Structure 1
Amino acid sequence: MHYDVFNGDADGIIALVQLRLAQPKETTLVTGVKRDISLLKQVDIESARSVTVLDISMEKNIESLEGLLAKQVPVFYVDHHRTGEMPVNEGLEALIDLDANTCTSLLVNQYLNEQYYLWAIAAAFGDNMNASAKALADKHNVSDEDQRFLKALGIYINYNGYGSQLSDLHFPPAELFKLLLAYENPLELRTQTDSVFYYLERAYKGDMANAEQATVHLDTKIVKVIELPNHAWSRRVSGVLGNALANQSPDKAHGVLTLNEDNSYTVSVRAPLNNKQGADKVCTQFDTGGGRAAAAGINQLPACDINRFIETLTTYYS
Structure 2
Amino acid sequence: MRKGTEPELVVITGMSGSGKSIALHALEDSGYFCVDNLPPELLEPFIELEDQGRGRKIAIAVDVRSGRSLPQLPLLLHSLRDRGIQLRQIFLDANDQTLVRRFSETRRRHPLSQPGEADIQQALLQTIMRERELLTDLRDRSHVIDTSYLRPAQLLACVKELISAPASHLTLVFESFAFKRGITLDADYMFDVRMLPNPHYEPELRPLTGRDQPVIDYLRQQPEVALMQEQIAHFLRTWLPALARDHRSYVTVAIGCTGGQHRSVYLVEQLAAEFSSEWFTLRRHRELGEN
With the length of structure 2 as denominator, give the TM-score of the two structures: 0.32
Structure number with greater CO (CA < 8 Å, separation at least 6) is: 2
TM-score between the two structures when normalised by the length of structure 1: 0.30
